[in-house]
Chain A
């Protein structure tokens, strides 16, 4: 029972929990948002989460070839995912404003918690908000950061502590991330606006489920590393 085994399991668990948290922070509008009926990014939770984390993973893999510090690699992955989400949300706002003529408005709160701008007078009746207002933008930034951090953390753990090769580590960390993110997506039931949304209070339940799944997955990783003979 070497200490590095506990380290691997611990990091995988933390990565899984961060994945779940990131999925809850990301503003996802789903299909209604593509029609301007709901606030958030106009796609599904799973799709945007995977896209952000894979971008972060790509950057992290690049950085991992020339540095050994777990914090730096994870931060690079996090920043990579955040840049992707930030650009996406900003361009979505441009499309909403110029292509469809709608103002970015949140449908869940009356006053924007961060900039204190009133929301209700600008909202189209019979919709649930549209666009990506400021609080949703900030929530998305945080979500991308957290999710990218978790993904890159798992990648780094598998690469350097369990001594997988780069391709194996990428696929394995991606699979564990996917399992956690989809469970979180089931918790959200499809659409969420961010940390100001009442649905965000369901977060602890999903964290417990993610904890269990990541624990089992971490054990799998340790056994695989032993089986490869690299520990």
Chain B
């Protein structure tokens, strides 16, 4: 279970950096707007959809291909099914990376072609130079998610008790975690990219005003800015924070279920639908409510601390 939490941490870190390399979802609306207000830029305008849906797509494709390969490969290695997984998972994730590149290319070319009247050209070096970093980061994200899904759907068979398997199948688990990791990365990591890095020549310490919208930072430390400069910056803070978010969520979820089961005296025999089953569920719920209360109190304290430290708004 700790392996799952660790994989989750890595997965979401890479998801966030990947959405910074190919600028996707919410901050991408600024990149789109930039050309429209006259700021021709060299950003990779990857507008596949919101991050949850596109991450879900890659993870589902990977999950489906892995599932198909597992059906074919597992009868060949009875008793050591993990060998089949070691072969199947990278191939599946590779297919997902290919599809990722296809969709990114069509999105970027299509969007730029739709902006013809704003004189935004397609820079071929931007296109070629970013496709591989996008694919590699996406590969890492999808790899971790697919591994998590594989472990969760087979956790019983791997540890000897087939009843512990999650009732959902592997592609469906990939779909669920893909959407979750995308929505988490979209709501936390994109803040660092959008508020800080895209408008880096604006003063630090204020929300970005409406008049700034569209006027993104185009000239920066290494000349004309592209996504490759952004990724290195966001990997220092935004990426790990996002990773910690998802890791914490997975940790709390699995931990409280496990603790509930232990409290209910449930493991390792798993009699279903008895009073001890109810006790296990109640244990899990109570733990969850305690965690929620802790975070609510934590937020109260944190907001008060930030207000005291930063003070009222100064400046114009």
Contact = CB atoms under 8 A, between A and B. Distances in A.
Contact of A124 (B193, B207, B237, B292): B207
Interface string A81-125: 011101111111111111111111000000000010100011111
Main secondary structure of the interface of B (DSSP, over half): helix
B81 interface: no
Interface string B188-213: 11111111101100001111111111
B292 A93 contact: no
B169 interface: yes
Contact of A35 (B27, B184, B242, B304): B27
Closest 6 CB pairs of A and B: A51-B183, A36-B207, A79-B288, A101-B205, A34-B26, A130-B207
Given A48-B187, A66-B280, A68-B277, 8 more contacts: A31-B29, A35-B194, A47-B50, A83-B253, A88-B187, A124-B206, A125-B313, A167-B167
Interface stretch (A2-10, A131-139, A196-204, A215-223): A131-139
B182 interface: yes
B52 interface: yes
Interface of B: 25-27, 29-30, 50-53, 163, 166-169, 172-173, 176, 179-180, 182-184, 186-196, 198-199, 204-213, 237-238, 241-242, 244-245, 248-249, 252-253, 257, 261, 266, 270, 272-273, 277-278, 280-282, 284-285, 288-289, 291-292, 295-296, 298-300, 302-304, 306-307, 310-313, 316
A59 to B, nearest CB: 6
Contacts of B209: 37, 124-127
Given A66-B270, A67-B278, A121-B313, A171 B187 contact: no
A66 B273 contact: yes
B272 A96 contact: no
25 contacts: A34-B27, A34-B195, A37-B208, A42-B191, A43-B52, A43-B183, A48-B183, A51-B179, A61-B167, A66-B272, A66-B280, A90-B295, A90-B302, A99-B192, A99-B196, A99-B238, A100-B191, A102-B195, A102-B206, A104-B306, A115-B300, A125-B316, A127-B209, A130-B207, A133-B303
Given A48-B187, A130-B207, A84 B249 contact: yes
B281 A63 contact: yes
Contacts of B205: 100-102
A80 interface: yes
Contacts, number: 286
Main secondary structure of the interface of A (DSSP, over half): helix
A84 B51 CA distance: 17
A198 to B, nearest CB: 19
B249 A61 contact: no
Interface of A: 30-37, 41-44, 46-48, 50-52, 54-55, 57-59, 61-69, 72-73, 75-76, 79-80, 82-84, 86-104, 115, 117, 121-127, 129-130, 132-134, 137-138, 141, 166-167, 170-171
Contact of B176 (A54, A87, A91, A130): A54
Contacts of B26: 30-31, 33-35, 42-44
B191 A73 contact: no
A44 B252 CA distance: 25
Contact of A127 (B50, B210, B257, B312): B210
